[in-house]
Amino acid sequence: MTASGRPQNNGCTGAAGPPPARAAARAAVPGLGADELVAALGRSGRTLWVLAAAWVGRSEADDLVQETARVAWQRRDSFAGGTDAAAWLSRIARHVGANWRRRRRPEPTAPDDLSECTAARIGADPWPFDADRCGLGDELARALAALGEVARACLLLHVVLGHSFAEIGVLLDIPENTATSHARRARLRLRAALAGAPAPPALDPR
Amino acid sequence: MNRDLHERRDDEAHGEARDALDRQLDDRLRAAFAPPPAAELAARARRALEGTGRRPRLHLPLLLAAAAAAMLAVAVAGPRLLRPVGDGRVPEGSVPDGHEVGALWAAAWQDATARGFDPSCCRTGVDLPACCRAAFSVPLALLPDAAVKLCGSYCGLPTGGGLMFLLHCERGPVCVCVLPRDRDPSVRLPHGSGLQLARREVGPLVLYALAPERRDELLEEFVVPAQ
């Protein structure tokens, strides 16, 4: 996988991350008062935003991060001191995002020009692709929309924020190898879309 | 032998094309999914938390009573209570939280510098003394020989009250935030913002200079002329 010019890691601690960074992150969140939670959200905010974009689309990512903050505050007692705050916040963001998706599932109708397979998947598991705003181009945006949210998150967290697959595994509660595979297959599909070639066989959305 | 060479060249060409495609893909994804600055997200998170902690659960009778009280207050105090805030005046009310204001300022700094202090976030042609007189009844001014250039007043993201001015000087861009001294929340920037605050009291006002380095000396360029 090409990683040219990959940005530095930002705001996440992973299972195989450098020990000092993990220790610092854990030490910084001994318990979750309002200031500690805001600080944790400040450190992990960009990670949560990209995760949210992968789950519910770019246009709703801000709202999902804000809702995550609200829910995290309500459930602050469930945070186990000394554990990874980024992973805890990520779990909340994924649950909140999944609820949003469930609520709006019956509403979308697939565009006419999509293939039957893609249309069925978008209808069942919607992810808005605002291609014009993102500047991705229709083909690339459709290919992204056709991915499962976990695969999308694996690729985006790796490419946009430079998270390692070990860190992504912690954030998404999946093994590192699974995160690697998701990102690799997602890249194959997007690469094919970008090149205008036929896409590889459909992925398991999860 | 020749066939091996041709195959190797094909593989290399294919690999280069694939890498170029990957680079293009990565660039597009980074551009499309660039998250907002961390400080801005932290400020939003704090607002969300405050909304959660203080959200009142009003019953209808209480709501009606509150509405009646508000109408009575308006009737008694007149239009003074309904004064608009968009004319440069600082909104009245309780002193905001210093952490929250700091996070808002950090986000505003990120926004202003990202836009290069351009007119989309900076109202140019501002008369500093007139602007401050309208907001605080105090005509804050720059010294005549001040080695700074006032670009204008910031008009992008919320700044938590007060006025924010964008300036350029020899050492780079600076935001100067002005508040009445009795409404100074003791602003503190969020951890990891990469910014420094300098503070100075000038008459009834308090000035903060916001920049990557402490800029105490810049605040010495401001005065309140004798009226």
**B202 DSSP 8-state letter:** E
Are A153 and A139 in contact by the 8 Å Cβ rule? The answer is no
Contact between A7 and B30 using a beta-carbon 8 Å cutoff: yes
Q: What is the mean predicted confidence (pLDDT) over A191-199? A: 74
Whether the predicted pLDDT of B58 surpasses 50: no
Q: What is the mean predicted confidence (pLDDT) over A67-96? A: 86
Which stretches of B140-227 are assigned E, i.e. beta strand? 141-142, 148-154, 163-169, 172-180, 196-202, 205-211, 222-223
Comparing alpha-carbon positions, the chain A residue that sits nearest to B39 is A42
Nearest C-alpha neighbor of A176 from the set A16, A7, A1, A42: A16
- Quote the pLDDT of residue B63: 42
Q: What tokens were used for B150?
A: 């006032």
Q: Residue A160: which of B23, B29, B44 has the nearest Cβ?
A: B29
| pLDDT band with cut points at 50, 70 and 90 for residue A126 | low
Q: Residue B32: which of A3, A134, A195 has the nearest Cβ?
A: A134
Q: What is the mean predicted confidence (pLDDT) over B108-129? A: 80
Size of chain A, expressed as the number of residues it contains: 206
Whether the predicted pLDDT of B50 surpasses 80: no
Which residues on adjacent β-strands are paired with residue A99?
none
Whether the predicted pLDDT of B191 surpasses 60: yes
Highest mean pLDDT: which range of A5-14, A60-69, B49-58: A60-69
For chain A, give the percent of residues with pLDDT over 90: 28
Contact between B52 and A74 using a beta-carbon 8 Å cutoff: yes
- Quote the pLDDT of residue A157: 94
Q: What is the pLDDT of residues B152-185, one digit of tens each?
A: 888 877 777 788 999 988 888 899 999 988 888 8
- Is residue A149 within 8 angstroms of chain B, CB to CB? no
- Quote the pLDDT of residue B77: 40
Nearest C-alpha neighbor of A187 from the set A154, A164, A165: A154
Whether the predicted pLDDT of A22 surpasses 70: no
- Quote the pLDDT of residue A177: 95
Q: What is the mean predicted confidence (pLDDT) over B4-11? A: 68
- Quote the pLDDT of residue B46: 74
Whether the predicted pLDDT of B80 surpasses 50: no
Q: How far is CA A200 from CA A146, A203, B18, B19, in A?
A: 12, 9, 15, 18
Tell me which amino acid residue B122 is.
C
Q: What is the pLDDT of residues A87-116, one digit of tens each?
A: 999 999 999 988 887 776 544 444 443 334
In whole angstroms, give the CA distance from residue B59 to residue B66: 11
Q: What is the pLDDT of residues B11-45, one digit of tens each?
A: 776 778 788 888 888 888 888 888 887 777 777 77
- Quote the pLDDT of residue A84: 82
Q: What is the mean predicted confidence (pLDDT) over B56-77? A: 44
Which residues on adjacent β-strands are paired with residue B177?
B164, B208
Q: Which of A9-13, A20-24, B31-35, B223-227 is least confident?
A: A20-24
Whether the predicted pLDDT of B1 surpasses 80: no
Rg (CA), chain B: 25
Q: What tokens were used for A81?
A: 């001191």
Q: What is the mean predicted confidence (pLDDT) over B132-143? A: 87
Q: What is the mean predicted confidence (pLDDT) over A21-31? A: 40
Contact between B25 and A140 using a beta-carbon 8 Å cutoff: yes
- Quote the pLDDT of residue B56: 36
Contact between B24 and A194 using a beta-carbon 8 Å cutoff: yes
Mean pLDDT of chain A: 72
Q: What is the pLDDT of residues A143-157, one digit of tens each?
A: 888 899 999 999 999
Are A37 and B54 in contact by the 8 Å Cβ rule? The answer is no
Q: Give phi and psi for B179, each to the nearest 5.
A: -140, 155
- Give the long-range contacts of residues A29-33, CB within 8 A, separation 24 or more: A29/A79, A29/A81, A29/A85, A30/A81, A30/A82, A31/A79, A31/A81, A32/A72, A32/A76, A32/A79, A32/A85
- Is residue A70 within 8 angstroms of chain B, CB to CB? yes
Q: What is the pTM of this model?
A: 0.50
Tell me which amino acid residue B204 is.
P
| pLDDT band with cut points at 50, 70 and 90 for residue B89 | very low
CB pairs under 8 A between A and B: 124
Chain A hits for B26, CB-CB cut-off 8 Å, are 2-6, 159
Chain B hits for A74, CB-CB cut-off 8 Å, are 52
Taken in order A51, A55, A59, A60, the sign of the CA dihedral is negative
- Quote the pLDDT of residue A175: 94
Contact between A67 and B99 using a beta-carbon 8 Å cutoff: no
Q: What is the mean predicted confidence (pLDDT) over A14-28? A: 37
Contacts of A4 (CB under 8 A, 6+ apart): B19, B22, B23, B26
Are A50 and A14 in contact by the 8 Å Cβ rule? The answer is no
